Amino acid sequence: MASDLHIKKAVRVVEAGGVIAYPTEAVWGLGCDPDNREACLTLLQIKQRPVEKGMILVAASVAQFAALLAPLPVAQQKQLQQAWANQAKTGPVTFLVPDLEDQVPWWVKGSHESVALRVSLHSQVQQLCQALAAPLVSTSANITGTSPATDRLRVEKTLGSQLDFILPGSLGGATKPSQIIDINTGRVIRAG
């Protein structure tokens, strides 16, 4: 399990523009500062993922997404808050939320008008985002088209030489990556 020193090192690496791997609820993730264009493009290059596909932003709390959620209708804000509050029962959920005020950089959104947002219940993800005082990019730790890594050894073997830090830790116990739902249509984009 990661110590406070490991979390601090991960935060320093992210703040310096590096790319890290870290455990999430169901799979290992790759992350970086979403506002750092070079870091995001490096992450996408490591993953061999086209920028047009976009990436998820993960946060420790709904409050970290306050600016993005504020322009939404109150009913949608309540729906998001309730769904994220119930994740312990339902499993992790990501919502596609319209970026109504164009707050998220194109290298995170890709070719989409919406941004994928998730509030994580995983303690290390929460610690990272709290220490950064901001959301973090979260995309599965794998080469596009291959299965996401479910253990640290696979991350080290397939991507380790290209990463700036791998945060020690354990997955959160979920069996599948987060469900993805479009907040405007209610359509499930990816089953959880």
Return the pLDDT at 177.
83
Per-residue confidence (pLDDT) for residue 129, from 0 to 100 = 97
Domain span at residue 157 reads 4-190
CA dist., res. 119 & res. 192, Å (int): 15
Across the chain, which has 192 residues, the per-10-residue mean pLDDT values are: 86 98 96 98 97 97 96 95 92 94 96 96 96 96 95 95 96 87 92 80
- Domain count of the fold of the chain: 1
Six-digit token string for 179: 């469900």
Task: Please report the pLDDT score of residue 1 as a whole number.
Answer: 56
Q: What length does the chain have?
A: 192
The confidence score (pLDDT) of residue 37 equals 98
What pLDDT does residue 77 have? 96
What is the structure's pLDDT at 2? 60
pLDDT the model gives residue 5: 94
Distance of CA 132 to the CA centre of its chain: 13
- CATH number for position 67: 3.90.870.10
Instruction: Determine whether 80 is exposed, middle or buried from the number of CB atoms within 10 Å of its CB (0-12, 13-18, 19+).
Output: buried
